[in-house]
Amino acid sequence: MPVKNRLAELHHEITEWRRDLHEHPEILFETHRTAAVVAEKLESFGCDEIVTGIGRTGVVGVIKGKTDTKGMVVGLRADMDALPILEATGLPYASKTEGAMHACGHDGHTAMLLGAAKYLAETRNFDGTVVVIFQPAEEGGGGGREMCADGMMDRWNIQEVYGMHNWPGVPAGSFAIRPGAFFAATDQFKIVVEGRGGHAAKPHETIDPVVTSAQIITALQSIASRNADPVEQIVVSVTSVESSSTAFNVIPQRVTLKGTVRTMSRHNRDLAEDRLSKIADLTAAAMGAKAEVNYYRGYPVMVNHEEQTAFAAEVATSVSGACAEAPLVMGGEDFAYMLEERPGAYILVGNGDTAMVHHPEYNFNDEAIPAGCSWWAEIVERRMPAA
């Protein structure tokens, strides 16, 4: 079953929806206009139920099949939020909101799920219920966690859930997926190194937090190289070094380090947090300084379920002719929270030869729309075949 004819017919219309969303990006939970557009379209499609305000600004639409003999409910999720990036595409439909941009393709995800919803509401050629989920605040706000905390899964008795993300660098409309751990846990840390400031010409009268911080930065790399199993993935990156002084001749009183930790397992996540704290504390003590460590856990590891992943790959192959094995991704994805509550799978759809996501020149490739819409629609029709 290749791209569905009806969705090919809707390609232009869905593209117009996508470009309208691209012009009006909204960040985190401030997706008020986007949510209103989504709810309005779901109503026009004839959805059986539409609820707004789930997870603060999320939208849920319910579409019932022609029959419901088994009580099966499948959830399909798209993210709606943009990024705080100044767009540099020069497109005629470029962002009209200064400092905000759909630089990760969530406009495309939303438009594709709307296209699938329109098709499913028209045809209803399935036995059960589909719940379309439009989520805010994927980009760091944990909107998926908030929607789950609002009881979404139990309220609609969602039994399986499926998500999708575009992926630049591979042919538009092609697919890739992998079972098990897929996207990394994303943690952050801040280390404040307190020393004793003074004149740079008299370092012996100080406890230099800059030198101490340099030792800590170097030592933190031993977490990946000497503490973690070499065949497992772990990244510890110090991304910011800030001093309490900006003068050339002053040794500062304190230095603040900030960074991120990415892991693919609970074990390594716990290991990294424990080792980071001890390395910072004891290295500072050895230099006569003190270190205050704050460790912030972000999104958990996103884990695809085996059975649902195999099914999602089968559907992708039916749509595009093949489904590749996706690489491990050290970026984060808060669809992880939904996969912790229900079995399901997350797939990548090719975006073609475009700038990478989170780049000011990125743009979602509208040529991927028919394949993405067809995958979602086919997930429903194959998982809940008409009675």
Q: 193 with 290: CB under 8 angstroms? A: yes
The string of pLDDT tens digits covering residues 279-317 is 999 999 999 999 999 999 999 999 999 999 999 999 999
The string of pLDDT tens digits covering residues 69-80 is 999 999 999 999
- State residue 2's pLDDT score: 84
Confidence of residue 1 (pLDDT cuts 50, 70, 90): low
Phi (first) and psi of residue 323, to 5 degrees? -145, 115
Residue ranges of domains in the chain: 5-182+301-383, 185-296
| 333 vs 2, higher pLDDT | 333
- State residue 207's pLDDT score: 98
- State residue 323's pLDDT score: 98
CATH code of the domain made up of 5-182+301-383: 3.40.630.10
- State residue 338's pLDDT score: 98
Going by C-alpha positions, the residue among 384, 386, 387, 377 that lies closest to residue 117 is 377
Confidence of residue 387 (pLDDT cuts 50, 70, 90): confident
- Note the pTM of the prediction, 2 decimals: 0.95
Mean per-residue pLDDT over the chain, rounded: 97
Confidence of residue 271 (pLDDT cuts 50, 70, 90): very high
- pLDDT above 60: residue 136: yes
Q: What share of the chain in percent tops pLDDT 70? A: 100
The string of pLDDT tens digits covering residues 198-243 is 999 999 999 999 999 999 999 999 999 999 999 999 999 999 999 9
Residue 160: both structure tokens together: 């399986």
Torsion (CA) 49, 308, 231, 264 in degrees, nearest 10: 20
- State residue 42's pLDDT score: 98
DSSP code string of 338-366: HHHHS-EEEEEEE--S-PPTTSTT----G
Phi (first) and psi of residue 104, to 5 degrees? -125, 0
Q: What is the SS3 string spanning 253-314?
A: CEEEEEEEEEECCHHHHHHHHHHHHHHHHHHHHHCCCEEEEEEECCCCCEEECHHHHHHHHH
- CATH top-level class for 185-296? alpha beta
Q: What share of the chain in percent tops pLDDT 90? A: 99
How far is the CA of 349 from the CAs of 170, 180, 301, 322, 370, in angstroms?
Answer: 8, 18, 20, 12, 11
- State residue 166's pLDDT score: 98
The string of pLDDT tens digits covering residues 56-99 is 999 999 999 999 999 999 999 999 999 999 999 999 999 999 99
The mean per-residue pLDDT over the stretch 354-376 comes to 98
- The 8-class DSSP code of residue 226 comes to I
Phi-psi domain of 288 (left: phi exceeds 0; alpha: psi -120 through 50; beta: other): left
